[in-house]
Structure 1
Amino acid sequence: MTDSHPPPADPRPLSPYRAGWIHFTNVAPILDSLVLPPGVTAITGVPTQMNEALLSGAVDIANISAVEFIRHADTLSALPDFSVSVLGPVYSVNLFHTCALSELKRVALTSQSAMSVALLEVLLLEWGVSPTLERAEGEAEALLAQGFDGVLRIGDSALREWYGVVGPFTEATIVPEIPQSGRGITVTDLAEEWFRVTGRPFVFAVWAYRKATPPPAALLDAMRAARRHGIGHLAEVSERHARKLGLPADVVQHYLWNFRYHLEDADRLALNEFADRAVPGHAPLEFGVR
């Protein structure tokens, strides 16, 4: 006689799928309206925190610095259609400096972004200079006043400080001719410099996951729906974040419409070129689930 009773249910609760979001303004068109599906949880933090969370296994997926994806390509895969990329200026990854690039001697680096530091190091080789690089946090003008002749700033604070140096803008301001200096400070946009050197887009972040824990389809569907909504309502997103940043809404909208939130062939070519320059000998980059 066979036992017709079903086996007892596994008493262990299912583990949630854990996401780690870097919720700067530049990803607001994706994350602002994102509704997590059942079974998915999320935490937020700055780039270096989310890099560490993904690499340690504290989260399963994160929009991490592209350089960390490159450095750990043996254990990480990236979503094939998500990125934070630009073609030309980005406005929020800036080197503030008080001398010519060829004369840089002492540069302050933020600890918040491994990606921006790696990009700066690649560009320093192009410029033919080798200044002393020191970790230091604080606003650019304050650090320049302390004796640094260059300060790397990223994210929302860098956007505010950029506008503080080159603004305010008027109706007569022509975008390609936006000034890049003021009050004795020059702002060099690192993404624009990358474009000048390579003619390619620059990929700042990818949405990477641990190969052992690919994301559920419901999360990908939710992310794509949020991206469609955010891009379709960019003026609303810009106005909301402009209030938080204390910047004019049209400046924030100009900032956001520069971004490329997909990962197209040109972006992949650029990512591989940066990988070869910044991390020689890296493992092949993999782009996984759709």
Structure 2
Amino acid sequence: MTYHVGLIHYTNVAPLTDRLEFPEGVQFVSGVPTAMNAALLDGRVDLANISVFEFIRHADHLAALHDFSVAVLGAVYSVNLFHVKPWEELSDVKIALTSQSATSVELLRVLLQKSGIDAHLIRAEGTALELLSQGYDGVLRIGDSALREWYEVVGPISEDVSMLDLPHTGRGVIVTDLAQKWYELTGHPFVFAVWAHRKDNPPPRDLQLAMRNARRWGVGHLGEISQAHASKLGLPWRVVQHYLWNFRYHLEPPDRAGLKVFADLASPGHAELTFS
């Protein structure tokens, strides 16, 4: 019987997937996070790199691989709120939300709540600058688009700027990195995605071995991967390399601790999280 895998083709998972060779009997489909969430939940795929909030919401019948994640400690650069007013002045304003990621929307809700901010969150699609020009006071953007739009706002960045000092303002726009804001408020890493499957249908061992081999190659070749993906993104390769080396791909104990804190804040009373 064929085992189906759902992949998200964002640059941040390139170290996990660029050299992933599926064993016999495994096929894959790809899409944005919300599409892969739905594909796993309705049974069209058996394993998927899904938004962590959907894993939390459906923890009663989903399990996550115990050693895979897409997480960061501090800035992520690709989950951004673009706004003109300072963060603390965002109460009673209109914020446009992407439909591509449930986790990022819930993370924004949690961060606003912890900051005592009550904003109007509205579904709308478009680039950050387009939506700001249409009257929105804030725009949530994720993934490769958010990374490109962050650079459009703050760039170009000269080569003598340390990668630790990358800017977050430009063109009259503030870019609040939600993972950095999470770290400032909680002191924990933030887990954006896990590899999840239904509890009664775990992935075959040869697929897990292939995934670990692909990750091992990817983490060891971030420069090569960065150069390949920089041309697709239209960004300097050194910026893409800095972006990729921030990620934590192994779901280590600090990541699980941060995941538990987010689960308790975003979905009180959730079922116990299961790892396989």
The verdict on a shared fold, with TM-score over 0.5 as the criterion, is yes
Residue in 2 that maps onto 1:127:
115
Deviation at 1:154, TM superposition (A): 0.1
Percent pairwise identity: 64
Matched with 1:178 is 166
Q: Which residue of 1 aligns with 2:29?
A: 43
**1:207 is aligned with what amino acid?**
W
2:263 alignment counterpart: 275
Q: 1:79 is matched with which residue: 62, 65, 70?
A: 65
Contact 2:163 2:239 in 1 (8 A): no
1:236 to 221, 224, 228: 224
Q: Which residue identity is paired with 2:87?
A: L
Shift of 1:175: 2.9
Aligned residue pairs, count:
274
Bigger Rg over Cα: 1
Q: 1:57 aligns with which of 43, 52, 64?
A: 43
| Amino acid of the structure 2 residue aligned with 1:256 | L
Q: Secondary structure at the match of 1:262?
A: coil
In the TM superposition, what whole-angstrom CA distance separates every residue of 1:219-269 from its partner, at most 9, and x where no partner exists?
000000000001111111000100110111101000000000001000011
Q: Which runs of 5+ in 1 are unaligned?
A: 1-14
Q: CA deviation at 1:103?
A: 2.3
**In 2: Cα distance, 1:239 partner to 1:180 partner:** 23
Q: Distance in 2 between matches of 1:192 and 1:44?
A: 28
1:220 alignment counterpart? 208
Give distance in 2, aligned partners of 1:175 and 1:198. 24
Query: RMSD of the alignment, in Å?
Result: 0.7
Distance between the aligned counterparts of 1:253 and 1:108, measured in 2?
Answer: 29
State the Cα deviation string for residues 146-196 of structure 1 (Å, max 9, x = none): 000100000000000001111111122123332211111000000000000
Amino acid at match of 2:34: T
Q: State the match for 1:8 in structure 2.
A: none
Which residue is equivalent to 2:151? 163
- Whether the 8 Å contact between 2:163 and 2:242 is mirrored in structure 1 is no
One-letter code aligned to 1:102: E
Runs of 4+ more than 4 Å apart: none
> Structure 1: how far apart are the matches of 2:252 and 2:156?
34
TM-score norm. by structure 2 comes to 0.98
Q: Give structure 2 stretches of 5+ with no counterpart.
A: none
The two structures have a TM-score, normalised by structure 1, of: 0.93
Q: 2:81: which partner in 1?
A: 95
State how far apart, in whole Å, the 2-side matches of 1:182 and 1:249 are.
21
The answer to whether the aligner puts 1:19 opposite 2:22 as a matched pair is no
Query: Contact 2:78 / 2:141 at 8 angstroms: preserved in 1?
Result: yes
Which amino acid letter does the alignment assign opposite residue 61 of structure 1?
Answer: L
